[in-house]
């Protein structure tokens, strides 16, 4: 990596270069830039209030630990939620990082285990449904995040999605013109019956920046990517956008931020259609358009399936 020279703000030696801002920063002024970007996102899209009771979904990775840390620093009240997905060592180590961070800051971390509470894990669910692991994983996480926030009276659910994540999903959705997904791809989804407000305060920061935040702040995060996600399309889209960004710094941010500003308002009608009254799941009471929600159907299929070891699925997908 190119080693930058002087901080744009104070002229002391820099620790990071940010071509998109056409500048280098020392540790202190880099942290300040991150705080400013998060504050700007919160104010620009009215993401959070200081009265909000916030639940941060923490995976033990850089983004979710950085967003929890940033929100606490900015004076918000925020607890953490960790979901144990049962992906072998990866899950064990990710839980350790989430717990260690909570302990170090004296923060409250709620833990839910898929195997312990619902009788299945992600490798088994992937086999049982014969779909990619990320599909059962995403469905399980979304359901459990919403349920934990609603049942425990939190007013906002925060995730650590960063600019790279959002731009990559946007590229995927645009390549297929997934209009309904595009309409929902916002940094703020307001609360509605049975769903908490959902907020992504890191969408103005790249993953390189959230990683640097953790390093400078001394936060020990899980560096490994999920072994079951190796080779998925999302990662290809990230690499494609990085290649474009290298040629033309700032493209990633303008692709996503201009989408939110200029394109998403044109799709607002689709979002409204999507919000038509939903019924409630006959088994768990969650909002659903069917009789039994997708999560309860997954639990039925996955918990009845013979347990699948992680390695088999992982090797098969590499």
Which option in ligand FES, Zn ion, ligand AMP, none does residue 62 bind, with CB closer than 5 to 8 A by kind?
Answer: none
How many residues bind ligand AMP (CB under 6 A)? The answer is 14
Nearest to 155 by CA among 58, 63, 59, 79: 79
The SS3 of residue 157 is strand
Site string for ligand AMP, 9-48 (x = CB under 6 A): ----------------------------------------
Burial of 94 (0-12, 13-18, 19+ CB in 10 A): buried
Nearer to ligand FES, 60 or 196 (CB): 60
**Residue 134 burial (CB count, 10 A):** 16
Judged by CB under 5 A, the stretch of 26-34, 116-124, 221-229, 272-280 that binds Zn ion is 26-34
The footprint of ligand AMP on residues 162-191 (CB under 6 A) is 165
Binder among 26, 38, 137, 168 for ligand FES (CB under 6 A): 137
Choose which of 97, 161, 237, 238 interacts with ligand AMP (CB under 6 A): 161
Q: Does 229 bind ligand FES (CB under 6 A)?
A: yes
What stretches of 185-309 show up as alpha helix (H) in DSSP? 207-217, 233-247, 251-258, 268-274, 294-304
User: Is 71 in contact with 159 (CB distance < 8 Å)?
Assistant: no
Q: How far is Cα 20 from Cα 208, in angstroms, rounded to an integer? A: 12
- Retrieve residue 54's tokens: 């916030």
Residues 6+ apart with CB under 8 A from 145: 55, 57, 81, 83, 157, 159
- By CB under 6 A, tell whether 133 contacts ligand FES: yes
Shortest Cβ 136–ligand FES spacing (Å): 8
Which residues form the interface with Zn ion (CB under 5 A)? 7, 9-10, 26, 29, 281, 283-284, 286, 293, 296
Which residues form the interface with ligand AMP (CB under 6 A)? 57-59, 63-64, 81-83, 85, 141, 159-161, 165
């Amino acid at each position: 990596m190119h080693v930058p020279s002087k901080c744009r703000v104070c002229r002391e030696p820099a620790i990071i270069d940010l071509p998109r801002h056409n500048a280098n920063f020392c540790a202190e002024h880099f942290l300040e830039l991150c705080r400013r970007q998060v504050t700007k996102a919160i104010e620009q899209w009215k993401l959070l209030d200081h009265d909000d009771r916030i639940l941060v979904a923490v995976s033990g990775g850089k983004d979710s630990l950085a967003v929890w840390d940033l929100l606490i620093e900015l004076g918000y009240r925020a607890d953490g939620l960790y979901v144990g997905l049962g992906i072998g060592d990866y899950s064990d180590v990710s839980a350790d990082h989430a717990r260690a961070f909570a302990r170090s800051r004296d923060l409250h971390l709620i833990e839910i285990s898929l195997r312990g509470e619902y009788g299945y894990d992600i490798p088994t669910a992937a086999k049982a449904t014969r779909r990619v692991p990320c599909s059962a994983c995403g469905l399980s996480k979304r359901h459990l995040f919403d349920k934990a926030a609603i049942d425990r009276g939190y007013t906002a659910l925060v995730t650590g999605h960063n600019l790279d994540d959002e731009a990559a999903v946007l590229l995927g959705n645009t390549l297929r013109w997934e209009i309904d997904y595009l309409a929902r791809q916002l940094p703020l989804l307001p609360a509605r019956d049975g769903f908490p407000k959902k907020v992504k305060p890191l969408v103005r920061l790249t993953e390189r920046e959230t990683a640097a935040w953790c390093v400078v702040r001394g936060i020990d995060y899980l560096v490994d990517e999920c072994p079951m996600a190796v080779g998925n399309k999302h990662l290809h889209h990230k690499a494609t956008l990085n290649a474009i960004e290298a040629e033309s710094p700032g493209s990633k941010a303008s692709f996503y931020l201009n989408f939110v500003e200029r394109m998403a308002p044109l799709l607002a009608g689709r979002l409204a259609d999507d919000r038509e009254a939903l019924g409630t799941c006959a088994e768990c009471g969650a909002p659903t358009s069917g009789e039994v929600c997708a999560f309860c159907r997954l639990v039925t299929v996955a918990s009845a399936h013979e347990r699948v070891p992680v390695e088999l699925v992982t090797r098969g997908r590499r």
